[in-house]
A = this chain, B = another copy of it.
Amino acid sequence: MSSSNTAPVNTIEHLCIIGVGLIGGSFARAVRQAGLVKRITGCGRNIENLKKALELGVIDDYSQDIKQAVKSADLIFIATPVGSFQSVLSQIKESMKEGVIITDGGSTKSSVIEAAKAVFNEVPVNFVPGHPIAGTENSGVEASFATLYQDHRVILTPLEQTNPDAINIVSQLWEAAGAKVVMMDAHHHDLVLAATSHLPHLLAFSLVNTLTTLDEKQEIFEYAAGGFRDFTRIASSDPAMWQDICLANKEALLEHLDHFCSDLKQLRSALQQGDGDFLRETFTRAKHSRDDFIANKNT
């Protein structure tokens, strides 16, 4: 908990979570555990998941009627795949309370802001786009846990017109969940995350897919070890969610992908020509960066 330096957050009377999966469910668990919310309503398309969320005490009630679900909410947290945002916002537009704060956990931010613009003409002043840099490859409410965000970053990408009080309340909820909140321009967020998250996911999915087409498929997986398990962990992520993220952040992702492919082509030439120095220098640069990254993470 790092909110000790800031004014205590007022308790949220009624929180509505749209999409009670890993991200939404963990947010609900964390803010409830911090004692910052009185009632949590869940909303989503999968009734079994909502029943499970209720059973686990993650939510207090649920409604599959999204208009009904948000009607009396003071804060709405949207944690559905980013491709669904425009539809979600359209549906809640007429039902939500005056002054309600909206935030989200979407992995891409420009697309979410575009969706809000498309629905409301102007991005609502009480909409605080956000992205917690945390997750696992598992999905659904059963994968959620209260400490998912502990010591992780949450990037908020408010606009110039965004209400500072709304930013403050959303920040304090995340801090109560144990996260470190940072502000960033949405476009910049998308460029950084394309490199560090979206491109690795694309490559992991792509590699595993390629391996499934090989004649030696069976053995390949049989003789794969720990390095392969870790390298491909993110290929066990939710395909529909990642389809949305890739499309929502297409431009930045294509930019990084092309850069990567061009460098890989150079490495291929070096390999073919037996240029060991080039390989070793490339590997060494990568190892140093990666070792530094780990050292910095641990400090």
Chain A interfacial positions (CB closer than 8 Å to B): 83, 133-137, 152-153, 155, 188, 191-193, 195-197, 199-214, 216-217, 219-240, 242-244, 246-247, 250, 253-254, 256-261, 263-265, 267-268, 271-272, 274, 276, 279-280, 282-287, 289-294, 296-297
Contacts and interface: CB of A to CB of B under 8 A. Distances in A.
Nearest to A236: B290
Given A133-B223, A197-B227, A208 B267 contact: no
A232 B290 contact: yes
B283 A243 contact: yes
Contact of A234 (B133, B227, B284, B294): B227
Contact of A212 (B133, B217, B224, B285): B285
Given A213-B263, A246-B271, 7 more contacts: A203-B264, A208-B287, A209-B285, A210-B256, A212-B286, A221-B292, A227-B233
Best-buried of A191, A219, A290 by chain B (most CB within 10 Å): A290
A166 to B, nearest CB: 23
Contacts of A205: 282-283, 286-287
A297 B260 contact: no
